[in-house]
Amino acid sequence: MFPSTSYNVGSLIKFTIRKDRIRIPLWLIGIIFFTVLIPVALDDMFPTQEERDVMAETMANPAMTAMVGPGDIENYTIGAMTTHNMLLFTAVVVGLMSILLVIRHTRTEEEDGLSELILALPVGRLANLNATLFVLTVTHIILALISGFSLYALGLDSMDLEGSLLYGAVLGGTGIFFTGIAAVSAQISESSRGATGLSIAALLLAYFIRAIGDVSNETLSLFSPLGLVTRTEAYSTNVWWPVLLLAGFSALLFLLANYLNAIRDWGAAFLHARAGKTYASRFLQTPIGLFFRTQRTAFISWGIGMFVLGLSYGSIMGDLESFFQGNELLEQMLVAEEGYSLTEQFIPALMIVMGILATVPPIIAMNKLIGEEKKNRTESILAAPVSRGKLMASNLAIAVMNGFIMISLSGIGLFLAAETVMEDGFSFGMIYGASLVFYPAMLVMISFSAFLIGFAPKLTGLIWVYVVFSFITNYLGGLLDFPAWVEKLSPFGYIPAFPVENMEWAPIVMLSLIAIILAILGFIGYQKRDIAG
């Protein structure tokens, strides 16, 4: 369609692959690992069809349908169970991967001025965009093939070759679709932050449309790409037309992204930022005010997301007693304690998920400091009468506040929804305390990020590896039979399972001290090291 403007795209494909030679393999390994791990765990927990049928009955309620989508309840094999419980969530993660990678190579590079350097070379105007689309498309095809053949290689009953290939194709198709969404968003918004927000908003909207449609109107669900994902029924009826629809819509999005890129001015966009005030407020003229202003939209978006997550978990608490009866998989995740209901025993498992997810936005906020440094903006701030210590302290204060508000909103959302659906609900103090007890572990993660910024700024990405490790060991450790000492490698492994276990203050104090020490070390390192310029 645009032959001259895509000139020399092959060279940029090689360049894009080189830039993501570590990032893309890590994403693929993580997604494929969980894709293969879950059916093996389910097969161990539900070895007989009778046990699977019990699980199917507990999943057949509107709350669970809204969360994971419809499933083949009548024929609940290991394959059908895997599709029902994991396919939608994995597709969401694949969509998120696509968004982050596409925006990084398009709008972020354009915003930072790197794309202009590329355009100075003998390449077409659309070459970089199409190189990104090509690399991401091939990445998702590889993901589809490896996931499909790996699932089939497990040799589990009911997980045949066609179902496995369809499962992988759904993941790949979803990734390619949201690659197109992100590519279009990169043309519409003039900032990487706005483009990312717009793309993630589309992902969340797709999830909510599907959730409403799956519960009330199946036709409505078909207007969501994630609704198409659940209609494939891998390992059951194996419906392929939703994958073809995803591919067709992806092609249209790719063409639209190319067209919008071709007609807009370089560096401009179709949605322009609102003009700011003529004079900055006194608060905005401080480092903490500046950092808060640049993170305000993300702060509000994450806050809404955490509150909705709490509401979602709280909405199913009215059915948990019947949900757990005879469910070995979930009972293994509980902290068994006499005198407590199964619902109370499940609260710590819910809270560990919300606690780790609530750690993500404050770490993003903390890493904003290194992000500004990489964009050569930190020197401009330090040129004013602002010390490095004040600069880091401002960013750390925002991250600490961010974490407190995120975990609080998730706990409040959980309480409000549970209070609505439960006949004999829990007190606010108990629910809020069970969520807030994870705050010291969150502080350790935030301070560890500050430590990396101070001493190893090029390795700040390791904090995300640690977050994923914490989730695997503390949430899935019971299913995977990890030894207790492995859980203790994460700060979340020291949090008491309140309210089932008595509140122990020693680990809370210890984690708080570790957080303080890491933060102080981070300050020392940041004061002494060179600032990238």
The rounded percent of the chain whose pLDDT value lies above 70 is: 88
Tens-digit pLDDT profile for residues 223-246: 999 999 999 999 999 999 999 999
Average pLDDT over residues 135-155: 95
Question: How far apart (Å, rounded) are the C-alpha atoms in residues 169 and 491?
Answer: 37
Going by pLDDT thresholds of 50, 70 and 90, the confidence category of residue 37 is: confident
Range with the poorest average pLDDT among 177-186, 460-469, 518-527: 460-469
First vs last C-alpha separation in the chain? 41
Decide: helix, strand or coil at residue 46. Answer: coil
Going by pLDDT thresholds of 50, 70 and 90, the confidence category of residue 98 is: very high
Instruction: Please check the confidence at residue 395 and state whether its pLDDT lies above 60.
Output: yes
- 492 near 351, Cβ under 8 Å? no
Instruction: Please check the confidence at residue 406 and state whether its pLDDT lies above 90.
Output: yes
Q: How many CB atoms lie within 10 A of CB 33?
A: 12
The residue among 434 and 178 whose pLDDT is bigger is 178
Range among 214-218, 312-316, 371-375, 449-453 with highest mean pLDDT value = 449-453
Average pLDDT over residues 69-90: 88
**Helix, strand and coil in the chain, % to nearest 5:** 75, 0, 25
Q: What rounded mean pLDDT belongs to the chain? A: 84
Going by pLDDT thresholds of 50, 70 and 90, the confidence category of residue 533 is: very low
Going by pLDDT thresholds of 50, 70 and 90, the confidence category of residue 359 is: very high
Question: What pLDDT is recorded for position 488?
Answer: 85
Range among 111-115, 222-226, 292-296, 346-350 with highest mean pLDDT value = 222-226
Instruction: Please check the confidence at residue 270 and state whether its pLDDT lies above 60.
Output: yes
Range among 41-55, 254-268, 288-302, 492-506 with highest mean pLDDT value = 254-268
Tens-digit pLDDT profile for residues 422-438: 777 778 888 888 889 99
Going by pLDDT thresholds of 50, 70 and 90, the confidence category of residue 2 is: very low
Question: What pLDDT is recorded for position 320?
Answer: 60
Sorted by where each begins, the domain ranges of the chain are 1-267, 280-533
Phi, psi for residue 323 in degrees, rounded to 5: -65, -35
- 302 near 406, Cβ under 8 Å? yes
Containing 228, the helix (H) or strand (E) segment is: helix 225-230
Question: What pLDDT is recorded for position 326?
Answer: 52
Tens-digit pLDDT profile for residues 183-195: 999 999 888 878 8
Question: What pLDDT is recorded for position 3?
Answer: 46
Q: Which residues contact 246 (CB under 8 A, 6 or more apart)?
A: 173, 174, 176, 177, 225, 228
